[in-house]
């Protein structure tokens, strides 16, 4: 592996997806950016990281920071390949985890299934102890009782243990002692307690979160250890930082303790990168649309800020496992470039959620895949060039794509090849438009008020069709959209979220009572940032409150500017409640449920180089050629194929066209106008 610079002058962002591993490298000396992309290696994800870095011709030994997001945690849960885990809880509460909320979101669904617990009942153990909601001890934890349970757990030969005691958010002493006892009895096991990951009320959500953290703990810890060892062998002497679902970075030690925070690290990085578009282009309201090889994600930025949610359901709300961590409000659907198209017995065409992944991948990859995918359909429609995929480093097999679609879709439905391929992409577009609706119209927002930024390898292929489905008139395609999430890791800051359950009426006196709580959390947060050992340019503390009307069950989170009055907080809460639920009750009393702190340590950010100015029309050097492309709205047309790397600032052109680059392609129908901005972004104006 060669090196372009002297040692430790790089910052490298690495995002592992289900199909591709993406890398962005920033040269700290001159601010230049390089991008790399290679197929993920499911059998050894660490090898895939080094393969992707090698594409850039840089070496980890040159870097002072490597920032990483991974699918290890989420995949372990989705595929049920985590550790054999035990749960230790308060006597009488072993079934809280399985009972859950007893809600049935779809009352008339005869095929409804409850969530399936990660820890079976025979591995849930009870301890005689009890802490009350105010933190007072009703029944002490005796060491002999704890050791007896630890011995029973040891006999089950588990790899991980989760500890959850009632109301431990108010008093952690019993949990902390039980962890000590378990570590004495099971020195090689991964032990985690609820106060390590969540200090909030709601026993089911805390139990589910703690169990999930233990379930993925051994695999995530082992993965991070292998990565650190391989980086050290390669000469890396800098700091390894981990991307979290909240959109912030943490040190490896924190990531090992709170593995569950890595669930949505890749998608979160894309949202963080989108924030730079708000800053650079002056766009306040933006819909983030990320379509990779396995899934598509959507999130909203309002006034340049993405909303944090404290609840997340792995596998979806209806049947998923509840996880209570701060996570960017991202909606995900199982539709990506590798999503497999199938025809059911009734002749219905479906796309996803099954994916061909990186191995064998779509049929056109030539690695043995035989099922038709969205990528195969785009190749048939002319949106992709067989000889220019990944900048020509990877050829596509058009014959294999044709055979897969003809055999599994066209012939069963008695369609011609192009119509079958068009049907596959149309269904994928509809699914992704629904994901966008889930974070806009279902939140009381009108998508027409937003611009759409499309990224991920497959995002620009569908961007215009998704925008048209939602009546959005402005689409932004960032530079190197295929590695945009990896770029986002270079724009992220050190960040950690803290929360404490504290219930008090929203009055001037009640608001004042939160001050000592905030002061305690802020001291803990500041100590963590200092212990991370990462120099940052600036430190910011952000306060939030969970508030609900008295008598309600669930709360909403609002930001709390310093020195806010009770009247200001109540007005803000009423407004947020009105937007979220289309009603509010300003005359009704409210109560505070939890206090939250976000600590942010700002890091320097990469600056994209401005493009040279053009003449207003693309130069002949930017035109690769022409080919027939089938567009969703207008059918077959001869499209101009542009090389994005040759486009200059101020270039303006209309479709039909396809803009090709190393990791993606942007489809431009005839009625869409493209303007190349000086920042390198493509701005597409879409007619409704």
Could you report the per-residue pLDDT of 351-401, keeping only the tens digit for each? 988 888 777 889 999 888 899 999 999 999 999 988 877 777 788 999 999
The verdict on 586 and 543 lying in the same domain is yes
Domain of residue 551, CATH code:
3.30.1490
Whether residues 56 and 88 fall in one domain: no
Domain assignment present for residue 642? The answer is: yes
pLDDT at 530: 85
Strands 474-477 and 451-455: parallel
Domain of residue 541 covers 493-602
User: Looking at the structure, do residues 31 and 46 belong to the same domain, yes or no?
Assistant: yes
Q: Is pLDDT at 473 greater than 80 in this prediction?
A: yes
- Over residues 556-572, mean pLDDT: 90
Evaluate whether residue 418 is within a structural domain. Answer: no
C-alpha–C-alpha distance, residues 219 and 82, integer Å: 7
User: In this structure, is residue 352 part of a structural domain?
Assistant: no
Residue where one domain finishes, among candidates 182, 197, 215:
215
Q: Which residue has the tokens 């794509």?
A: 401
Residues 18 and 50 in one domain: yes
Answer for the pair 436, 447: CB distance below 8 angstroms, yes or no. Answer: yes
Whole-prediction pTM: 0.85
One domain, residues 169 and 234 = no
Say whether both 236 and 258 belong to one domain: yes
Does the pLDDT at position 5 exceed 70?
Answer: no
**Which residues partner with 638 through β-bridges?**
628
Q: Is the pLDDT of residue 529 over 90?
A: no
Residue where a domain stops, chosen among 571, 602, 633: 602
| Count: domains in the chain | 4
Residues 71 and 113 in one domain: no
Band (7; pLDDT cuts 50, 70, 90): very low
- Cis omega (within 30 of 0) on the bond before 360? yes
Q: Which of 97-106, 125-134, 349-358 shows the highest mean pLDDT?
A: 125-134
pLDDT tens digits, 17-32: 877 888 999 887 777 7
Let me know whether 89 and 70 are in one domain: no
pLDDT for res 537 = 63
Inside any domain, residue 87: yes
Within a domain: residue 23?
yes
**CA–CA separation, 166 and 199 (whole Å):** 11
Using an 8 Å Cβ cutoff, are 289 and 298 in contact? yes
- For residue 248 the two structure tokens come to 């912030």
Residue ranges of E strands in 42-181: 63-69, 85-90, 124-127, 130-131, 137-139, 160-164
At 317 the pLDDT is 66
> What per-residue confidence (pLDDT) applies to 635?
85
Asked if 77 contacts 47 with a C-beta cutoff of 8 angstroms, the reply is no
Q: Where a domain ends, among 180, 215, 250? A: 215
**Pair 196, 242 in one domain:** no
Assign residue 238 a region (left: φ > 0; alpha: ψ between -120 and 50; beta: otherwise): beta
Per-residue pLDDT for 36 more than 70? yes
User: Please, what is the average pLDDT of the chain?
Assistant: 89
**And the tokens for 114?**
């409850």
Number of H helices, E strands in the chain: 17, 35
Task: Report the phi/psi class of residue 603: left, alpha or beta, with left for phi > 0 and alpha for psi in -120 to 50.
Answer: beta
Query: What is the predicted pLDDT for the residue at 105?
Result: 65
**Pairing mode of beta strands 20-27, 33-39:** antiparallel
Q: Is residue 6 pLDDT above 70, yes or no?
A: no
* Residue 422 reports pLDDT greater than 50: yes
Distance of alpha carbon 640 from the chain centroid: 35
Cα separation, 24 vs 26, in Å, equals 7
Residues of the chain with pLDDT > 90, as a percent, come to 53
Task: Give dist(CA 320, CA 315) in Å, integer.
Answer: 4
Q: What's the confidence (pLDDT) of residue 8?
A: 47
What are phi and psi for residue 328, nearest 5 degrees? -60, 140
Distance of CA 561 to the CA centre of its chain: 27
Q: Give the span between the Cα atoms of 642 and 640, in whole angstroms.
A: 6
First vs last Cα of the chain: how many Å apart?
A: 49
pLDDT band with cut points at 50, 70 and 90 for residue 4? very low
- Can you point out the beta strands (E) in 390-508? 451-455, 474-477, 494-505
Would you state the pLDDT for residue 104? 66
**Which of the four pLDDT bands, split at 50, 70 and 90, describes residue 328?**
confident
When mean pLDDT is compared across 43-47, 181-185, 193-197, 211-215, the lowest value belongs to: 43-47
Would you state the pLDDT for residue 161?
A: 97
Tell me whether residue 524 is in a domain: yes
Average pLDDT over residues 338-356: 89
Q: Higher model confidence: residue 416 or residue 325?
A: 416
Closest CA to 221 of 189, 244, 181: 189
Tell me the C-alpha distance between 619 and 645, whole Å.
Answer: 12
**Do 579 and 524 fall within a single domain?**
yes
Cα radius of gyration (the chain): 26
Same domain, 100 and 197: yes
Q: Per the domain annotation, does 362 fall within a domain? A: no
CATH number of the domain to which 66 belongs: 3.30.420.40
Position 683 scores a pLDDT of 96
| Residue pLDDT, tens place only, 639-674 | 999 999 999 999 999 989 999 998 889 999 999 999
120 and 163 share one domain: yes
Torsion of CA 568, 574, 577, 583, to 10 degrees: -170
Scored b (16 or more CB within 10 A) or e, 555-571 reads bbbbbbeeebebeebbe
Residue 357 backbone zone (phi > 0: left; psi -120 to 50: alpha; other: beta): left
Contact 318, 112 (CB under 8 A): yes
Whether residue 637 lies inside any domain: the answer is yes
Region of poorest pLDDT, from 171-185, 444-458, 532-546 = 532-546
- Per-residue pLDDT of 577-611, as tens digits, reads 998 888 999 999 999 999 999 999 888 777 777 88
């Amino acid at each position: 592996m060669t090196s372009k610079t002297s040692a430790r002058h790089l910052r490298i962002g690495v995002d592992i997806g289900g199909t591709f591993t993406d890398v962005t490298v920033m040269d700290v000396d001159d601010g230049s950016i390089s991008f790399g992309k290679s197929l993920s290696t499911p059998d050894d994800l660490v090898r895939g990281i080094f393969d992707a870095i090698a594409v850039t011709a840089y070496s980890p030994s040159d870097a002072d920071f490597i920032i990483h997001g991974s699918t290890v945690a989420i995949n372990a849960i989705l595929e049920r390949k985590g550790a054999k885990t035990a749960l230790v809880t308060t006597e009488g509460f072993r079934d809280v985890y399985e009972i859950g909320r007893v809600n049935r979101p779809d009352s008339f669904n005869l095929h409804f299934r409850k969530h399936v617990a990660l820890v079976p009942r025979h591995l849930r153990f009870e301890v005689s102890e009890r802490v009350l909601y105010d933190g007072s001890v009703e029944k002490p934890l005796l060491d002999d009782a704890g050791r007896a349970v630890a011995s029973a757990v040891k006999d089950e030969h588990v790899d991980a243990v989760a500890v959850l005691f009632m109301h431990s958010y108010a008093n952690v002493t019993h949990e902390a002692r039980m962890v000590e006892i378990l570590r004495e009895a099971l020195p090689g096991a991964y032990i985690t307690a609820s106060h390590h990951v969540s200090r909030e009320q709601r026993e089911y959500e805390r139990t589910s979160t703690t169990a999930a953290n233990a379930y993925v703990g051994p695999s995530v810890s082992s993965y991070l250890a292998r990565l650190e060892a391989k980086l050290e062998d390669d000469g890396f002497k800098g700091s390894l930082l981990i991307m979290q679902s909240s959109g912030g970075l943490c040190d490896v030690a924190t990531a090992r303790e709170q593995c569950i925070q890595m669930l949505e690290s890749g998608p979160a990085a894309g949202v963080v990168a989108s924030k730079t578009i708000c800053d650079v282009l002056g766009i306040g309201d933006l819909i983030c649309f990320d379509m990779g090889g396995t899934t598509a994600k959507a999130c909203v930025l309002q006034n340049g800020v993405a909303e944090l949610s404290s609840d997340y359901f792995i596998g979806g709300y209806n049947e998923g496992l509840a996880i209570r961590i701060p996570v960017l409000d991202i909606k995900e659907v199982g539709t990506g470039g590798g999503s497999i198209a199938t025809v059911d017995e009734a002749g219905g065409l479906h796309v996803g959620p099954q994916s061909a992944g990186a191995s064998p991948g779509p049929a056109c990859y030539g690695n043995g895949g035989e099922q038709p995918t969205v990528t195969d359909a785009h190749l048939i429609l002319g949106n992709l060039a067989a000889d220019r995929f990944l900048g020509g480093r990877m050829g596509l097999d058009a014959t294999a794509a044709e055979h897969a679609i003809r055999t599994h879709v066209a012939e069963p439905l008695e369609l011609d090849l192009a119509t079958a391929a068009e049907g596959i992409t149309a269904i994928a577009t509809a699914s992704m438009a629904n994901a966008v609706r889930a974070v806009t119209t279902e939140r009381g927002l009108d998508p027409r008020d937003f611009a759409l930024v499309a990224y991920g390898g497959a995002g620009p292929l569908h961007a215009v069709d998704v925008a048209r489905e939602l009546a959005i008139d402005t689409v932004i395609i960032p530079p190197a959209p295929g590695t945009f999430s990896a770029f986002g890791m270079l724009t992220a800051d050190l960040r950690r979220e803290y929360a404490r359950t504290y219930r008090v009426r929203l009055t001037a006196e009640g608001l004042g009572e939160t001050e000592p709580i905030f002061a305690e959390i802020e001291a803990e947060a500041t100590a963590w940032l200092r212990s991370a050992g990462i120099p940052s340019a600036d430190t910011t503390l952000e306060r939030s409150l969970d508030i609900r009307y008295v008598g309600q069950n669930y709360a909403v989170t609002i930001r709390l500017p310093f020195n806010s009055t009770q009247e200001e907080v109540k007005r803000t809460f009423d407004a947020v409640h009105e937007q979220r639920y289309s009603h509010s009750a300003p005359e009704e009393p409210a109560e505070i449920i939890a206090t939250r702190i976000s600590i942010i340590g700002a890091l320097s950010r990469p600056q994209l180089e401005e493009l040279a100015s053009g003449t207003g029309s693309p130069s002949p050097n930017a035109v690769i050629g022409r080919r027939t492309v089938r567009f969703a709205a207008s059918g077959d047309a001869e499209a101009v194929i542009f090389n994005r790397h040759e486009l200059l600032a101020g270039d303006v052109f209309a479709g039909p066209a396809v803009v090709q680059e190393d990791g993606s392609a942007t489809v431009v129908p005839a009625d869409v106008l493209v303007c190349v901005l000086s920042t390198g972004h493509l701005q597409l104006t879409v007619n409704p």
